[in-house]
Structure 1
Amino acid sequence: MKNIFLSLTFIFCLAAITDSVAQENQTIFRNSGIRRSGGYAAISNKFTKINGDFANMAEIYGGWFVNQRFMLGVGAAATTNHIPVPLESQQFPGRKMTYQYGQLGLMTEYVVASTKMVHVNVNLLTGTGFTLQYDRHDVDDWDDIDWDDRYDDDDVKCFFVMEPGVQVEFNVLKWMRFSPGVSYRKAFNAKGNGLTDSDLSNISYNLTLKFGKF
């Protein structure tokens, strides 16, 4: 997995360098500054693994899109399904203890040949990840839930996370794009809740829709 993380980071840097070289030589008076500015928002669904179990993650991100190349913004994602907590790792007793994972941070995206019908982009999220445990009640238990006992504030563990990725992007409409892709999530110094860096670090596959002014 470490090799995948390094490879995606390399692709991110290489794409930016390649696109820059392909452009004509810049001059101070002709090419400086922002020539075109827009923005977009993206909704994404990710498929990955946490602690060896399948994890579904919903994600949203977006920001300022500069010169049809570079997006600078923020992103957030969180798991939506049951990720079982082993008995030996449970912080407090529960009938259906599950892990909750989330991340929030700076989102950057570099788009190569944005005006082409099919093109690629590389992206990078850097920020904070968190985990907690809670009792994931079944539907028939909802009438008898003590919400204060679902998790303890001391159980929330935060750490640094990076997630470089690459997407193939299709210009569906002038204001909408479809961008399936792959990324690698790397956690640093994740401690607590029975989870380690290797338990939280894994490859993710995503399906993404983007809406805005490109």
Structure 2
Amino acid sequence: MFSKAFLICLFMPFALMVMGQEGNDVLARKVTLNIRETSIEDILKQIETEDFAFTYSAEIFDVKKRISINVKDETIGSVLDILFRGQGMECQQLGNKLLIRKKRVPKETVSKSDTTKKEIASALPVKPIVQKVEPSVVEKEREETPVTEPKNEKVTPIIATQRSDSAIGNSTPSSEASGSELENARTEYYQIERKQTEAIVAAYKNHELAPLLFVPIYDIHPRSLLPIEFKGEIAAEEAPKKVKEPKPEKPAKDNKFRINLAPSVGYTEIGNRDAILLGGQLAYNPNKSFGLGVAGKAFITRAEPDAHLGADYSYSGGYGGLLLEATLFPNKPFHLSFPVIFGLGEIMYNSLQPITGLNTIEDRRTVFVFEPGAYLEMNVIKYLRIGFGATYRDASSANLKYSSTEQPIMDKNGLDGLSINVMLKFGIF
């Protein structure tokens, strides 16, 4: 009894350890995961618990590869198969560690049949060994031997016997047939083959080929040749197709509505007197470079005493008409504009009493005015521009005269002259 109790106490820890190992199959544990776009390394960390951990090298697989997985009550082994699908990995449990490594490829086992085939191949002759025979003996054999079909009855049994023996397991063909017999059989076999070849050559030695086609030979004039109809297909290289160059795209039509109102003030000389010009224009621009509209200006000179009339008189009047305007570099912050005015106007020689408001007109004339100009404009804000420029006024005859004596007050070119202007443009450009 003592010995049995001692043995039970001795083997009990070992049995419990074995049972613990069998019951502690980590790969059979079930887990539930619902993870999206997470690296394999992080997924393994989430599967680990306090009683086991994964062991691996980051160089054998892509630990940063992101995977989405959604499983419920699935074994850890199945989850690892999903994570490492297509990467050739396996997992082995070593105590409380799960080792992840590359799958080991089992060594190929060579079957007995393959060994037999290799032995048969090694037993077959690689190079025939032919004994040297004197020329006289060969000539006698040719004379004595008639041309008949070869008989392979002697060679075939020996080779067949050799193959059957090697297939059974004999590594050398000399188990039943000696080396000299095998060599003699080979020599006889090649002699028979040679005789067959010589017989075939002798049978066709005196054979002549019959003419297959008779072609008459005579002179043919080149012009009498007729074209031969060809019904086949001619393989020719296709000419490269011309690639059509894309046509330049036409600029899109500018349908934006543009309009501007521009008051101006300037200085000029009329009849050798300083004068002030007050004007304005209203223009429509179908595009940024051209404008069409109307414009007008009014002027008045300083009043000077007239000894003939005994009062202070000045020149005053105005003109207006069609406006044409061209603009260079309209998209630049600084640009040039060239307005031209075609219109009619009036000039008069008068005396205005500021207190009483009495206006005494000595003479007046209607004139035709042509006034080109040039301005340097600057964009201030989106809807405002300011311009500085000059215009030249060319008017028709403006010869004013005294009503009583018909003496000239102003000659015919008295209204012509240069003016300096400042202009503000308000509008949509």
Could you tell me which runs of 5 or more consecutive residues in structure 2 were left unpaired when the two chains were aligned. 1-247, 402-408
1:18: which partner in 2?
Answer: none
Amino acid at match of 1:79: F
The question of 1:53 aligning with 2:268 is answered no
Structure 1 residue matching 2:413: 3-state secondary structure: helix
Runs of 4 or more above 6 Å deviation: none
* Aligned with 2:331 (options 115, 118, 126): 115
Report deviation, 1:50.
0.4
Alignment of 1:72-151 (within 5 A): 72-84=292-304, 86-87=306-307, 93=309, 95-138=311-354, 142=355, 145=356, 147=358, 150-151=359-360
Report deviation, 1:85.
7.0
User: Deviation string for 1:122-150 (max 9, x for gaps)?
Assistant: 01011112111222324xxx1xx263xx1
* Aligned with 1:41 (options 261, 270, 282): 261
1:202: which partner in 2?
Answer: 417
Higher helix share: 2
Structure 2 residue matching 1:165: 3-state secondary structure: strand
Q: Separation in 1 of the partners of 2:399 and 2:250?
A: 51
Is the Cα–Cα contact under 8 Å of residues 273 and 301 in structure 2 kept in the other structure? no
Change (3 A) 1:36 1:97: same
* Aligned with 1:192 (options 378, 385, 400): 400
* Aligned with 2:378 (options 170, 180, 184): 170
Structure 1 residue matching 2:304: 3-state secondary structure: coil
Structure 1 residue matching 2:258: 3-state secondary structure: strand
Structure 1 residue matching 2:268: 3-state secondary structure: strand
User: Deviation string for 1:93-145 (max 9, x for gaps)?
Assistant: 4632111131111111111121210010101011112111222324xxx1xx2
Q: Separation in 2 of the partners of 1:182 and 1:146?
A: 34
Is the Cα–Cα contact under 8 Å of residues 83 and 100 in structure 1 kept in the other structure? no
2:367: which partner in 1?
Answer: 159
Which structure has more relative contact order (CA 8 Å, sep 6+)? It is: 1
Is the Cα–Cα contact under 8 Å of residues 54 and 83 in structure 1 kept in the other structure? no
Query: Could you tell me the TM-score, scaled by structure 2's length?
Result: 0.38
Task: State the Cα RMSD in Å.
Answer: 2.5
Higher strand share: 1
Q: Separation in 2 of the partners of 1:50 and 1:157?
A: 14
Is the Cα–Cα contact under 8 Å of residues 284 and 292 in structure 2 kept in the other structure? yes
Q: Separation in 1 of the partners of 2:311 and 2:336?
A: 45
Query: Could you tell me the TM-score, scaled by structure 1's length?
Result: 0.73
Q: Separation in 1 of the partners of 2:357 and 2:323?
A: 36
Q: Which moved more, 1:127-136 or 1:44-53?
A: 127-136
Change (3 A) 1:172 1:158: same
Structure 2 residue matching 1:179: 3-state secondary structure: strand
2:29: which partner in 1?
Answer: none
Q: Which moved more, 1:121-130 or 1:78-87?
A: 78-87
Is the Cα–Cα contact under 8 Å of residues 335 and 378 in structure 2 kept in the other structure? yes
* Aligned with 1:179 (options 379, 384, 387): 387
Is the Cα–Cα contact under 8 Å of residues 95 and 135 in structure 1 kept in the other structure? yes
